[in-house]
Amino acid sequence: MNCQIKKRKIFFLVFLFTSVVPVGVYADVGGYAGRFEVCSKYGYTIATINGINTTESQAEDNKDALRIIISDSFNGEKVDFTYFYNPTHLKGVWDLADSTVEKISSDQIVSRGDFIEMLQDASARVKTQKLLLVAHSEGNFYANKFYDKMVVEKGIIPAQSIGVYGIANPSNRVAGGGISLTSKSDIINIVPLNKESDMSVKSNNRDDLLGHDFIKIYIGHFGEQMKKDIDISLKKLLPNSVQIKPYSPCIPPQETGVLYKIFKPIVWSADKVTNLAVDGIVSDAKGLWWVAGKTADVLTWTGTKTAEGIWWAEGKIVDGAVVVADKAADAAVWTYNKGVDAAVGTYNTGKAAVNKGKKMVTDTYDTLVNLPDVILKKGSDFVEQKQEEATRAVEKKMEEAAEEFARELERELERQCAVKAAYASSENEDLTTLREFRDNTLNKNDVGRLLVKEYYKNSPPIAEYLSEHKIARELVKNAFFVPVTETIRLLKN
């Protein structure tokens, strides 16, 4: 029993000692001074402050990108990297208005709720007495206010221990006489009374049309200059001569107040509602754009296939006409050759008869003086008559063959016609209008005949598809052929 009481007393004394005695009192024992310091005079802290329309993930990316170009140590001391987040409200509308007020106000007023949270982050994250704020865009207003509150208003941090480096600075100053870097091609230059841009060479802003992005423009194109400027800024920093207790925070925690606690959930709710509304509008717009794109694709495909059908049909007609013309030419040549052969044979026969007649004329000149001329004339008339009869017979056969071929071709084309397939009928007022337009207009000129040729050339697969798909058939008929026939009737009237 006594043993348990002794153990409890020892435990209570140990607990009391560790709770009351400051950590710094026994942290120096054994030569380990400074190991448990909350705010060390050794090392540096570089904190980035982002501008408007930046998510917290992007703010952290900015910090990480800066860390890549800056060494983790300076003058033999460790360099810590962190970020103080400047949140976006109402999809940036609130921040833009806030920046406008900050710009025209001589006191550089910033959103007090966001600034209080930024000071709370600084109190938790800054572990060194030497602090450099690297601000981008609207973050410069916060950096200036941070410096003014810590150095000028409260004197918590001496000017020798904190510095400001302004990037894409919309303000007309950099607190503490810090260095500023703004590209001449940055959109921020349109702000009136802006601090003059100090880069004589324009950046290549193909990655960011506004020339304003922290990573793509400034680290991507001015990384070496930024490293030089930050090295100069760090070199000016000295330990905090005001802070006596090394175990107290470098940045004291801030009191939030009643108004902050009231307005914080209100602002949070407004941000959520705005984000949902804007995201919904964007989603609807993307949906409408997708539907419009698909509709355009369908119309384009339908128009293309219809044109291909017209070109195919015209090609088939022209091919058929060429075949008929070739056959007719062959028949004409054959007939001509046969006629020539017959004429030559007749001539030779007549010549022999003439020679024979001459002999007879020699014997009986007085009686038969005119006989050869009569025979020659009758022979010539006979040859001409037979030649004409042969020619007429050949022409009649050719005409009948051509007419039968044309009828068969027209029946075949009608079967493969996309227009007929679209109307699911061979007799229709629209079909009659289109046939008349084909025969009386298109076939009267070279361009029209070319269109008819391509139509009949490409029409069969479309006709086959439309005959099997009722919805596509109705779509092509109402979206293309009906407007075309109505236009033809209007032009005709």
Query: Averaged over 445-457, what is the pLDDT?
Result: 86
For residue 127, give the CATH number of its domain.
3.40.50
- In terms of domains, do 318 and 219 share one? no
pLDDT: which is higher, 125 or 474: 125
- In terms of domains, do 188 and 329 share one? no
Query: Averaged over 118-131, what is the pLDDT?
Result: 93
pLDDT at 233: 96
State how far the Cα of 16 lies from the Cα of 186, in Å rounded to an integer: 60
State how far the Cα of 165 lies from the Cα of 230, in Å rounded to an integer: 7
- In terms of domains, do 353 and 242 share one? no
- In terms of domains, do 246 and 338 share one? no
pLDDT: which is higher, 274 or 55: 55
The answer to whether 166 and 188 are in contact (CB under 8 A) is no
Query: Averaged over 371-375, what is the pLDDT?
Result: 65
- In terms of domains, do 129 and 28 share one? yes
- In terms of domains, do 249 and 343 share one? no
pLDDT at 160: 94
pLDDT at 274: 56
φ, ψ of residue 80 to 5 degrees: the values are: -95, 145
pLDDT at 218: 94
- In terms of domains, do 72 and 177 share one? yes
The answer to whether 70 and 79 are in contact (CB under 8 A) is yes
pLDDT tier at 159 (50, 70, 90 boundaries)? very high
- In terms of domains, do 247 and 322 share one? no
> Furthest-apart CA pair in the chain: how many Å?
187
301 assigned to some structural domain: yes
pLDDT: which is higher, 440 or 31: 440
- Please name the amino acid found at residue 158: P
State how far the Cα of 23 lies from the Cα of 248, in Å rounded to an integer: 10
What are the pLDDT digits (tens) for 202-211?
A: 555 556 778 8
Q: How many domains is the chain built from? A: 2
What are the pLDDT digits (tens) for 2-28?
A: 555 555 555 544 444 444 443 333 333
- In terms of domains, do 356 and 483 share one? yes
Of 284, 285, 160, 168, nearest to 222 (Cα)? Answer: 168
State how far the Cα of 65 lies from the Cα of 203, in Å rounded to an integer: 18
Range(s) of the domain holding residue 151: 20-256
**Helices 258-363 and 371-415: crossing angle, nearest 10°?**
160
Query: Averaged over 460-484, what is the pLDDT?
Result: 84
- In terms of domains, do 303 and 423 share one? yes
- In terms of domains, do 252 and 137 share one? yes
Whole-angstrom CA distances from 193 to 95, 106, 331 are 19, 12, 94
φ, ψ of residue 370 to 5 degrees: the values are: -100, 0
Residues 254-289, buried b or exposed e (16+ Cβ, 10 A)? beeeeeeeeeeeebeeebeebeeeeeeeeeeeeeee
Mean pLDDT of the chain: 76
Length of the chain in terms of residues written: 493
Q: Which of 2-11, 323-332, 446-455 has the lowest mean pLDDT?
A: 2-11
Of 256, 273, 307, the residue at which a domain comes to its end is 256
